[in-house]
Amino acid sequence: MKDQITKDMTIDEIFKKFPSNAPRLAQELTNAGLNCVGCSAATWETLEAGFYGHGMEDHEIGELLSRLNHILNEQVNLSKITITKRAAKKYKEILKADGKEGWSLRFGERAAGCSGFEYFLDYSEKSGKDDMVLESEGIQIHIHKQSKDRLMGSTIDYVDGLQGAGFKITNPNVKASCGCGSSHGY
């Protein structure tokens, strides 16, 4: 399959063309040491210019482009919500520290931000009558049934890097997001 992301594309082009993958693509760029995504990003800069500006060599650029294109080619299962092993481990650590071992995870969204919605994660002692109950990595996930069409297929990960640490949501249903990634739209 032909690469969809090339070194001649700008960051802005990539995020506009692949909005549902933007959070994972941004994280991959950040993991590679390119802190050029977010509210103060140089989004007009081509990937190649950004890569060279950060001292990357041609083989490193090729490897990163390969990883970015791999993200685009991954198949998403829209019948579940996935928690990565790393996120599950961190959530269980938080539950233990807060004396809530065995509690579930409430995953939802609310109106906010410049793009319409923001995600929230919270403790959930038990599901409600309007909840859908899913499970991933040994953790029950409670979502409101009305959010099902928007949240199914999402992946909840935990990242810890120079830009901070926290849970990160990737949702294939998202059609637009703000530059800093704090809100999204459908």
Domain locations in the chain?
A: 11-73, 82-185
Q: Report the pLDDT value the prediction gives residue 159, as an integer from 0 to 100.
A: 85
CB 91 within 8 A of CB 140: no
Structure-block tokens of residue 12: 């802005």
Between 27 and 71, where is the model more confident? 71
* Mean pLDDT across 15-28: 80
CA angle 25, 134, 88 (to 5 degrees): 55
Contact 156, 121 (CB under 8 A): yes
Joined together, the tokens standing for residue 31 give 């993991």
| CB atoms closer than 10 angstroms to residue 170 | 22
Q: How far is CA 56 from CA 63, 78, 158, 163, in A?
A: 11, 36, 26, 20
User: How far lies 126's CA from each of 100, 103, 157, in Å?
Assistant: 12, 7, 22
What is the rounded average pLDDT of the residues 173-179?
67
For residues 186 and 41, which has the higher predicted lDDT (pLDDT)?
Answer: 186
pTM: 0.67
Q: What is the mean pLDDT of the chain?
A: 86
Residue 160, token pair as written in the block: 């810890």
pLDDT reading at 18 higher than 70: yes
Regarding the domain with residue range 82-185, which homologous superfamily does it belong to in the CATH classification? Answer: HesB-like domain (2.60.300.12)
pLDDT value at residue 34: 72
Bridge partners of 82, per DSSP, are: 155
pLDDT band of 183, cuts 50, 70, 90:
low
The pLDDT of 84-98, averaged and rounded, is 97
d(Cα 91, Cα 72) in Å, to the nearest integer?
27
Q: How many angstroms separate the Cα of 10 from the Cα of each of 15, 16, 94, 133?
A: 9, 10, 38, 40
For 167, how many CA atoms within 13 A lie in the half-sphere containing its CB?
Answer: 22
The string of pLDDT tens digits covering residues 114-154 is 667 889 999 999 999 999 999 999 999 999 999 999 999 99
